[in-house]
Amino acid sequence: SFALSAIHPDLFEAGRRVLEFCCSTESHKGRTHEWARMWNSVYTALTVLSNRRSPGHVDSHGRSNYLDALVSLGTAAHPKIFFKELNSSFSYKSGTVLFFSGRGWTHEVGDWGAGERICYASYMRPEIIEAHVLPVTSWGVRV
């Protein structure tokens, strides 16, 4: 969440406002506040992948201007993530955190050799953001 606040403050703020609402005892007729208070991220969704290759794909969730966060963990020998549009692979070893548009970039993770690979993929569901706050239209920080 902290990194997202620096690189895409509008998306961070939208997620923070949704989480704040869900933590309220009045939210959703009182059905979300107990669980929402345990959620430690402004992202609205999390997928955990364990020892799975990921064929080239563009994520169906999100928006092109939303940034997903992928955290790579485990003991995998040589994991790499490939971005088709860049025709490039990048090291994806344990401890790596990537922020990119899963909707905007075709990405894949193939065979990594020996070891275990775990990925935590955090992302925003646009229908949740748009139900609680105005749509996020910016692309993050301009440099």
Domain boundaries, the chain: 2-131
φ, ψ dihedrals at 69, nearest 5°: -120, 120
- pLDDT score recorded for residue 143: 61
Give strand pairing partners of 22.
none
Q: What is the full per-residue pLDDT of the chain (143 aa) written as tens digits? A: 999 999 999 999 999 999 999 898 887 777 888 888 888 899 999 999 999 999 999 998 889 999 999 999 999 999 999 999 999 999 999 999 999 999 999 999 999 999 999 999 999 999 999 998 878 999 987 66
Q: Which of 115, 114, 127, 97 is nearest to 14 (CA)?
A: 127
DSSP per position, the chain: -HHHHHH-HHHHHHHHHHHHHHHSTTGGGGTSHHHHTT---S-SEEEEEES--EEEE--SSS-TT--EEEEEEE--SS-EEEEGGGTEEEE--TT-EEEE-TTTS-EEE----SS-EEEEEEE--HHHHHHHSPPP---S---
pLDDT tens column, 18-50: 999 989 888 777 788 888 888 889 999 999 999
pLDDT given for residue 6 in this prediction: 95
Q: Please state which CATH class domain 2-131 belongs to.
A: alpha beta
The token pair at 72 is 């790579």
